[in-house]
Amino acid sequence: MSSKNSTSSYGWVAKTFHWGMFFIILGQYWLGGNFKNEAYQGMGLGGYHFSVGLLILFMILLRFTWRAQNPVPEMPDGTSNLQAFAAHGLHMLFYLLLFALPAVGVAIVQAKGGTVSFFGLFSVPRFIEKAESTAELVVSMHGIFAKITLFCILLHIIIALYHHFGKKDNVLRRMLP
Ligand code: HEM
Ligand code: HEM
């Protein structure tokens, strides 16, 4: 299998990003819902939520760079312009959300006066001052972005399954390992 995408299928790099990030993002939702908000230091569940979130931020930047240098597989025959636009739009929205969601997460920790560490290896430089008003704003943004992303994921899965079982085209198969 080729590392690069072709006009008909995804290469192994895009597939590895896709499925690797899928499982990491699932874990990240679990961590987000289960860590105690007070734990802004050390490597408790909160520390893992922040570190994994940073990992997602790095991965989405690499993944976007990779995508920009690859052909995007063509839509199946008979796809309308509107459908193609919607599919492309939802994919681009994922890139935007998976950048904004962790970036806002970093802002929460900094606005609360904490430090974001990447698995204890290094810390993110401070770019937001400690302020309760900022913290309130970014906490609500983080919650809303997390919900919008989850909604998009569910929609994306339903569409993928519809392609495979309803339209019986190769859209799901070309993203599978
Ligand atoms: C794609 C990456 C991320 C996802 C999917 C995600 C998801 C979540 C979810 C579902 C919650 C619970 C929200 C709620 O109870 O309303 C949460 C809370 C939180 N997340 Fe994230 N998160 C991500 C990245 C990050 C990053 C990178 C950081 C910090 C470096 C971070 C910091 C926080 C904090 C501090 C809270 C608690 C907010 C509060 O005070 O209620 N998150 N996250
Ligand atoms: C965290 C969850 C997910 C995210 C963020 C996500 C994101 C994406 C993105 C951005 C693309 C565009 C290709 C690329 O740039 O890599 C894509 C393609 C695709 N995804 Fe997902 N995905 C997720 C989960 C799933 C799941 C669970 C399925 C299967 C049920 C799935 C099926 C597909 C398929 C079939 C394509 C190819 C679409 C096409 O060829 O036009 N995805 N996904």
Atom of ligand 2 nearest to the CA of 18: 16
Contact 53, 35 (CB under 8 A): no
Atom of ligand 2 nearest to the CA of 163: 35
> 29-83, pLDDT tens digit by residue?
999 999 987 667 777 899 999 999 999 999 999 999 999 999 999 999 999 999 9
The neighbouring-strand residues paired with 122 are 118
CA 91 to chain CA centroid, Å, is 10
Tokens of 154: 């569910």
Whole-number pLDDT of residue 39: 64
Q: How far apart are the first and last CA of the chain?
A: 10
Give the closest ligand to the alpha carbon of residue 175: 2
How far apart (Å, rounded) are the C-alpha atoms in residues 63 and 17?
A: 7
> 161-170, pLDDT tens digit by residue?
999 999 999 9
144-160 average pLDDT score: 98
Atom of ligand 2 nearest to the CA of 25: 1
Which whole-number Å values give the CA distances from 115 to 14, 109, 124, in the listed order?
32, 6, 7
> 114-139, pLDDT tens digit by residue?
999 999 999 999 999 999 999 999 99
Confidence of residue 109 (pLDDT cuts 50, 70, 90): very high
Tokens of 76: 């199946």
Contact 22, 54 (CB under 8 A): no
pLDDT above 70 (res 92): yes
> What's the whole-number average pLDDT of the chain?
95
Angle, to 10 degrees, between the axis of helix 12-34 and the axis of helix 45-68?
150
Site to probe by mutation for ligand 2, drawn from 15, 18, 64 as the one with most ligand atoms within 8 Å of Cβ, is 18
Q: Which residues contact 26 (CB under 8 A, 6 or more apart)?
A: none
